[in-house]
Amino acid sequence: MKRDLVIRNARVVDHDGEFFGGIAVHEGRIVMTGDNDSLPEGQREIDAEGRVVMPGVVDPHCHLGVNYPYNEDMRTETAAAASGGVTTILLYIRNKAGSYIPFYKERRAVGEENAMIDFGFHFGIQREDHIHEIPQVVLQTGVRSFKCYFGYEPDNPIGIVPATDGWVYAAMRHLVKIPGGVLSVHCENTGIATWLKDELKATGRQDLGAYTESRPAFCEEETIGRMLFLAERTHCPLHIVHTSVGRGPVLAAEARGRGIDVTVETCLHYLTRTCYDEDLDMTAKISPPLRERSELEGLWRGILNGTVYSLGTDHVPFFPKKGEDLWQEVPGVVCFPWELPLMLNFGVHQRGLSLSRLVQLNSYHPARRFGLWPRKGSLQAGADADLVLVDMDEERTVHHTGHGLCIYEGWKLKGWPVMTISRGDIVYEDGHVNESFGRGQCLNRPQ
């Protein structure tokens, strides 16, 4: 029996090793992996010519529908994601107006009408009602991941409501009772950052470094420590998002030694950019901020020694930034199309990162943390056929034409995705996205 799609002559890489051969796909799922001779015939056959095939990227951290309409973002940004080998995205979304149950129904429906790839949600706690509602939200939406935000002063330019330790503790007490429940936390000491911001504003400085100096690394380290304290006492799984400081993975590793269930995520901007890069101005403001090079190197140590658990893009397409006032500038950049090329260039080619470790960071670990494995992030038979074909030697220059700010424009990178397959459908090939909008599925379902 012929299968729908067969890839041969590939360097097949999973989280725990690699082999030379291929993958057979039928009805959207992987049905077999093996050497070339063991694979069945396919309705379509792809000769990988020795290039790498790995699980599609599972990006567990993005924000869509913040400035541009949600339905528009779900089209433009999932297409951009597909071009970068991303086959699954998880959105951190906020609803200050009320319950997450009707909000979920609306966002799921609009997402499935527009998305090119599969998606899911984490819900941001923005009012006390959200904490009391957690058990019912889990039951009626299937979402088991919630987020608390620190580091945002009351007049922050994107309107985030900062958490209190009471919110964190109360949310953890609910989530520890829920199988697969996890609390994500944006770790920065809100009070210290607010105080230092007022001091820095008074100097008149408008450079990107001033923003970093207004919320120094110890603000993040202190809050990571505080969240670990609460996680230890509640036994709730903790996920520390977009870690920008080198001590973050170290603190988490020490906590895991005490039995705390904690994982650490970092982002490509913290691994490739610093706040003192001469070509960056206030528009490169990100929250938490870009740091100095010593923090960047500390994060790479965590990537290479295994203490960084996963990667996220923190992709957020804002309207064109104004570049007028550092302190009122919105924080965030876009990264979907370049996360994988950046890791191949700076991690694999320059620092010797193994491809299997990259699959752990990009696919296997985020899928496991958020309850998607083995359907996602896996090459097992029965898993969704979410795959990316990578040319390790191809060199391209980053050129951004879409929404949001790119901080890699003009960079020449080595190692690019040349084909992206989502549930057996080829959604990106030969430099072009196959605009199959509305095929993406929401991965969060009511129980």
> Can you spell out the DSSP letters for 313-357?
--B--PSPP--S-GGGSPP-B--GGGHHHHIIIIIIIHH---HHH
SS3 171: helix
Predicted TM-score (pTM) of the model is 0.97
Q: What is the mean pLDDT of residues 258-277?
A: 98
Beta strand pairing status for 182-186 and 238-240?
A: parallel
Confidence of residue 304 (pLDDT cuts 50, 70, 90): very high
Q: Quick one: DSSP state of residue 117?
A: S
371 Cβ contact partners less than 8 Å away, ≥ 6 residues apart:
144, 180
- Which residues are bridge partners to 282 per DSSP? none
Residue 66 pLDDT grade (very low, low, confident, very high; cuts 50, 70, 90): very high
- Among the residues of 390-429, which ranges form H helices? none
Q: What is the pLDDT of residues 104-141, one digit of tens each?
A: 999 999 999 999 999 999 999 999 999 999 999 999 99
25 touches 369 (CB < 8 A)? no
Q: What is the pLDDT of residue 447?
A: 81
Domains 3-52+383-432 and 57-369 equal at CATH topology level: no
| Residue 236 · residue 172 · CB < 8 Å | yes
Architecture of domain 3-52+383-432 in CATH? Roll (2.30)
At 12, is the pLDDT very low, low, confident or very high (cuts 50, 70, 90)? very high
Tell me the mean pLDDT in the region 270-299: 98
pLDDT for res 435: 85
Instruction: Give the model's pLDDT for residue 145.
Output: 98
**Cα radius of gyration rounded to whole Å, the chain:** 21
pLDDT of residue 1 exceeding 90, the answer is: no
- Tell me the per-residue pLDDT of 171-212, one tens digit each, with 9 for 90 and over: 999 999 999 999 999 999 999 999 999 999 999 999 999 999
Q: Is the dihedral of CA 79, 85, 90, 96 positive or negative?
A: negative
Report yes or no: 253 and 323 within 8 Å, Cβ to Cβ: no
Name the least confident of 21-30, 124-133, 150-159.
150-159
As a whole number, the mean pLDDT across the chain is: 97
The predicted pLDDT at position 154 comes to: 83
For 216-254, the pLDDT digits (tens) are: 999 999 999 999 999 999 999 999 999 999 999 999 999
Place of tokens 């000769």: 47
Q: How far apart are CA 79 and CA 87, in angstroms?
A: 10
Query: Rounded CA gap, 439 and 434, in Å?
Result: 11
Query: What amino acid occupies position 20?
Result: F
Q: What are the residue ranges spanned by the domains of the chain?
A: 3-52+383-432, 57-369
Which CATH number does 57-369 carry?
A: 3.20.20.140
* pLDDT for res 155: 84
Residues 6+ apart with CB under 8 A from 213: 196, 200
pLDDT in tens, 310-355: 999 999 999 999 999 999 999 999 999 999 999 999 999 999 999 9
